[in-house]
């Protein structure tokens, strides 16, 4: 039986035969054919597909068909296995793929294929460590709640079939789960007495045997970082599909750099010995002679991070960026390495293998923190930017961060030149009518083909775009602009009697408008749900959906990945074009790099990046064929600046109106 994307997704295909009200989407079929071709010819593909195209089926169907065509039976070796990795940014999309889309295709297609959701190792419980933690609970945990949770996890471990955090009915305290989770450096492998029933190894076998691996971007780039050191989390693969690909640069940068914080070191030392409760790993193993070095290290760590913060005041830029390594004596790394060696030595003297590996793992954690701190202090990562962040009431929590200025060369050499086919897809990647130059240059993707597909939705009928032109310029008259924005929000929120998102680029402006408009909204009997009050995003969204007269004020996390189909959302008000704050150390370094090679950082980076964010915000409005509404942009620069035309050309072709009222 011959199967291709047409016979599955076409007007008379297998999906149409299964569904009563199947509507063929030409854009979906065109994307599926392009993915099919890219896999067959071992080339890369960048494809922007508008909302409603059905991207997941457009890449899943050709992926499954390719995996089935290359399958040589259950006896195939790992070397010959044809695998496809599907990487997403959000958990919601992962769950849709693994719980809905893939099972549906499994029921429709007359071929066998397997798919698994890949989770990081620390998501799984180690039964051996669970037993050890229960034995040591009195010396490890000082409060009753931690001990109670440990017992609950112990009871759950006897009944769970999955053994992962998502199967647990409550969210455990971090320090409790830390004592029972599966760890690479704390594993006896086949020598472990619980190896036969190990949840992590059972999951690993499923991963190595599967045709499709569904991961998140964070796990994917953690694996890519490990491959640079000769290790890996994932088996080798022939095809990778990045859905929500507009987020790849940011996630890759996070995982191909490094960070170390005062909190991480405090946490590590407290696990070893906490003098307040007279507990910790050292007490459990009667290693009292190592308590004094831990206490000394704690003091040294506090002094060291104090010095780093002082050095920032003297020599770093105002945004915390360190252009040169700080001239500070790093005794913390020296002492951490020494403590790590003593823990490994103590482990070797233990009689039981499980005790040896527990102490050895603690030693390796010391080595890891020491190495990360040393690397940051010496600025050992080339072509990277180094900076310091502080948090907490007294700004005592200090994080030292390093990230590559440009991930493009790394991804080109270690991903795109190594993997036969990479598919990058999103509803928002092109800038202007057709150009993928920005995303390609940022990711180092110089090969392959591009495809831009519109949405099957009728934007001319379903949506109107309103641009307020007679407004103060936000970059030149900030105070007057914010006051004018409040007036415009009143006007447009009334038009739809609520049912509106108002999207902001900063919490400062969000809180200003919320405070000014709250009394007026109360008088209009319109509920205000504001992200500025600290309510979790999911809870805000649930409350908004249930309320028939509501407006939601959201910051950056509401510009993307939020889905409110139907009448609950008919109005998206965008207060300002979403340009990133140029003084963030990483963005500053990227702009400096473009400037140094003679480029125009504003037009080459800031404008394209803002266009993609704006497209994400616009995309919150129309989520189905029956949705209708308006998007309002309260930033006059869309009309007054030359680059404004590029923003408008990048949005779907809907009815455009200009509000010229003062």
Provide CB contacts within 8 A for 258, sequence distance 6+: 372, 375, 376, 381, 401, 402
Q: What is the pLDDT of residues 314-339, one digit of tens each?
A: 888 999 999 999 999 999 999 999 99
Instruction: Verify that 26 and 132 share a domain, yes or no.
Output: no
* Backbone phi and psi for residue 554, each to the nearest 5 degrees, phi listed first: -125, 150
Instruction: Verify that 441 and 466 share a domain, yes or no.
Output: no
* Domain carrying residue 168: 121-202
Instruction: Verify that 500 and 624 share a domain, yes or no.
Output: yes
Instruction: Verify that 233 and 318 share a domain, yes or no.
Output: no
CATH number at residue 40: 3.40.50.300
Residue 454 has pLDDT above 60, yes or no: yes
Q: What is the pLDDT of residues 26-59, one digit of tens each?
A: 999 999 999 999 999 999 999 999 999 999 999 9
Q: Which residue carries 């009915």 as its tokens?
A: 169
Provide CB contacts within 8 A for 535, sequence distance 6+: 529
For the chain, the domain total comes to: 4
Residue 139: band (very low, low, confident or very high) from pLDDT cuts 50, 70, 90: confident
- Among residues 202, 219, 238, which one ends one of the domains? 202
Instruction: Verify that 320 and 346 share a domain, yes or no.
Output: yes
Stretch 443-458: mean pLDDT, rounded?
A: 95
Q: How many CB atoms lie within 10 A of CB 217?
A: 22
CATH number at residue 391: 1.20.120
Q: What is the pLDDT of residues 539-551, one digit of tens each?
A: 999 999 999 999 9
Instruction: Verify that 588 and 555 share a domain, yes or no.
Output: yes
Residue 291 has pLDDT above 50, yes or no: yes
Instruction: Verify that 215 and 353 share a domain, yes or no.
Output: no
Which helix or strand (DSSP H or E) is residue 315 part of? helix 291-315
Q: How many CB atoms lie within 10 A of CB 348?
A: 9
Instruction: Verify that 52 and 191 share a domain, yes or no.
Output: no
Instruction: Verify that 504 and 575 share a domain, yes or no.
Output: yes
Instruction: Verify that 273 and 325 share a domain, yes or no.
Output: yes
Alpha helices by DSSP H, listed for 547-643, are 585-596, 601, 607-618, 637-640
Q: What is the pLDDT of residues 223-282, one digit of tens each?
A: 999 998 888 999 999 999 999 999 999 999 999 999 999 999 999 999 999 988 789 999
CB of 406 closer than 8 Å to CB of 593: yes
Sort 141 into a burial class: Cβ within 10 Å, 0-12 / 13-18 / 19+: buried
CA pair distance 439, 442, nearest whole angstrom: 5
What are the C-alpha distances in Å from 594 to residues 9, 266, 408, 442, 599? 44, 39, 13, 11, 5
CA pair distance 462, 464, nearest whole angstrom: 7
Instruction: Verify that 630 and 488 share a domain, yes or no.
Output: yes
Per-residue pLDDT at 491: 96
- Among residues 170, 202, 234, which one ends one of the domains? 202
Instruction: Verify that 321 and 276 share a domain, yes or no.
Output: yes
- Among residues 388, 423, 453, which one ends one of the domains? 453
């Amino acid at each position: 039986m011959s199967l291709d994307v047409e016979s599955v997704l076409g007007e008379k295909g297998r999906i149409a035969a299964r569904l009563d009200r199947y509507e063929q989407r030409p854009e979906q079929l065109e994307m599926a054919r392009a993915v099919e071709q890219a896999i067959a010819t071992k080339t890369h593909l960048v494809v922007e597909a508008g909302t409603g195209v059905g991207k997941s089926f457009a890449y899943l169907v050709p992926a499954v068909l390719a995996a089935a065509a290359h399958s040589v039976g259950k006896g195939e070796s790992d070397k010959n296995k044809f695998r496809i990795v599907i990487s997403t940014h959000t958990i919601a999309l992962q769950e849709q793929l693994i719980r809905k889309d893939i099972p549906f295709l499994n029921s429709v297609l007359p071929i066998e294929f397997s798919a698994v959701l890949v989770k990081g190792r620390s998501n799984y419980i180690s039964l051996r460590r669970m037993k050890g933690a229960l034995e040591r609970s009195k010396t490890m945990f000082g409060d009753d709640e931690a001990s109670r949770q440990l017992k609950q996890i112990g009871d759950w471990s006897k009944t769970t079939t999955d053994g992962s955090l998502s199967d647990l009915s409550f969210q455990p305290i971090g320090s409790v789960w830390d004592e029972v989770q599966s760890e690479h450096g704390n594993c006896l492998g086949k020598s472990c007495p619980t190896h036969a029933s190990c949840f992590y190894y059972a999951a690993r076998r499923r991963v190595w045997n599967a045709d499709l691996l569904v991961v998140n971007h964070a796990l994917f780039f953690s694996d890519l970082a490990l491959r640079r050191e000769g290790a890996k989390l994932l088996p080798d693969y022939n095809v990778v599909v990045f859905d929500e690909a507009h987020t790849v640069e940011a996630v890759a940068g996070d995982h191909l750099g490094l960070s170390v914080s005062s909190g991480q070191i405090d946490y590590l030392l407290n696990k070893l010995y906490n003098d307040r409760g007279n507990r910790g790993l050292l007490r459990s193993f009667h290693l009292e002679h190592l308590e004094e070095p831990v206490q000394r290290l704690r003091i040294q760590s506090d002094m060291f991070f104090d010095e780093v913060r002082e050095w920032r005041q003297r020599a770093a830029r105002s945004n915390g960026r360190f252009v040169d390594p700080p001239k500070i004596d790093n005794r913390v790394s020296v002492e951490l390495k020494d403590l790590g060696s003593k823990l490994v030595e103590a482990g070797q003297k233990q009689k039981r293998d499980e005790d040896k590996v527990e102490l050895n793992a603690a030693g390796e954690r010391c080595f890891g923190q020491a190495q990360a701190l040393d690397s940051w202090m010496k600025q050992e990562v080339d072509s990277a930017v180094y900076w310091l962040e502080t948090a907490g009431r007294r700004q005592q929590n200090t994080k030292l961060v390093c990230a590559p200025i440009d991930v493009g060369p790394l991804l080109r050499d270690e991903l795109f030149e190594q993997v036969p086919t990479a598919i990058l897809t999103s509803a928002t990647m092109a800038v202007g009518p057709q150009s993928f130059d920005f995303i390609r240059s940022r990711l180092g993707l110089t090969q392959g083909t591009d495809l831009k597909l519109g949405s099957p939705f009728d934007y001319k009928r379903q949506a109107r775009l309103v641009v307020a032109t007679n407004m103060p310029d936000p970059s030149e008259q900030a105070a007057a602009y914010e006051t004018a924005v409040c007036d415009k929000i009143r006007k447009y929120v009334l038009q739809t009697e609520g049912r509106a998102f108002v999207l902001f680029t900063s919490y400062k402006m969000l809180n200003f408008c919320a405070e000014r408009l709250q009394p007026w909204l109360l008088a209009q009997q319109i509920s205000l749900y504001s992200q500025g009050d600290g309510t979790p995003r999911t809870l805000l969204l649930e409350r908004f959906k249930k309320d028939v007269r509501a407006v939601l004020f959201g910051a950056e996390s509401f510009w993307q990945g939020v889905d409110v189909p139907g009448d609950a959302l008919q109005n998206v008000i965008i207060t300002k074009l979403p340009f990133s704050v140029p003084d963030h150390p990483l963005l500053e370094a990227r702009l400096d790099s473009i400037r140094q090679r003679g480029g125009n950082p504003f037009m080459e980076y800031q404008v394209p990046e803002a266009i993609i964010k704006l497209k994400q915000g616009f995309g919150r409005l129309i989520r189905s064929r029956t949705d209708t509404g308006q998007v309002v942009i309260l930033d006059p620069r869309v009309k007054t600046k030359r680059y404004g035309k590029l923003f408008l050309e990048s949005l779907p072709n809907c009815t455009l109106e200009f509000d010229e009222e003062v």
